[in-house]
Amino acid sequence: MKKNTLLYFATILAVIGIVYSIFAFDKAFPIVNVKITADKNDILQKSDSLTIQYSLLDSGYQSVVRFDTDSRFKNYVELEGGGVEVFQDVVNTGIYSPYTWSVRQYNINEIKECQYVFSPHGEFLGFKVTLADSLPGANIPNPDIDAIINSNSGMKNLLPDLSFYSLIEESSELKEGGRRDHVFTYELNNTGVGEALYRFKIGISGDQ
């Protein structure tokens, strides 16, 4: 009789636990809704088109594609920046994409490589070309970034509308090959999540 009573109470507790888990699951383990409309083949095709259009790599390069999450941003927003609802709003509005497709293109035994970033929908977000430090190039101490952008229609088409951004930082580094590389950091005006601000960088290698 005693065993039956214990079994009865254990069964009731188990049922209560299951019911609670069903109703509290979303709060205990919040789920973010991300719509992924571009697949791996779409992303590879887009990145190949850009590499060919701008002659960034020699033919025969290899490509690696993966789907990434900006875990650092996600954790910050969920824990300190307003919670899951705010993070979901960022994902929905598309002001920043914490989920991205990333592509790395490279030739074996070569330092030069390309990296692309696309949104889950396949929208182009940015790219980076890595060059060998020994590669020669121009040494321009104070390049006019606006003039460089406006003189290069291809580059300008890949950038967001800079009228919504402010240039907040400039840095440069002289490479061993005599080339001076510059990095210009821009910040989106009057927009952010908590203390996190939206920024992007434009890199210039020599005069390119």
State residue 79's pLDDT score. 94
Q: Which helix (H) or strand (E) holds 6?
A: helix 2-28
pTM comes to 0.83
State residue 5's pLDDT score. 52
pLDDT in tens, 112-150: 999 999 999 999 999 999 999 999 999 999 999 988 888
Coil, helix or strand for 188?
strand
Cite the beta strand spans of the chain per DSSP E: 62-69, 99-106, 113-118, 124-130, 165-174, 180-193, 196-205
pLDDT in tens, 91-109: 999 999 999 999 999 999 9
Q: Inform me whether the pLDDT recorded for 65 exceeds 80.
A: yes
Longest dimension (CA), the chain: 91
Terminal-to-terminal C-alpha distance of the chain: 85
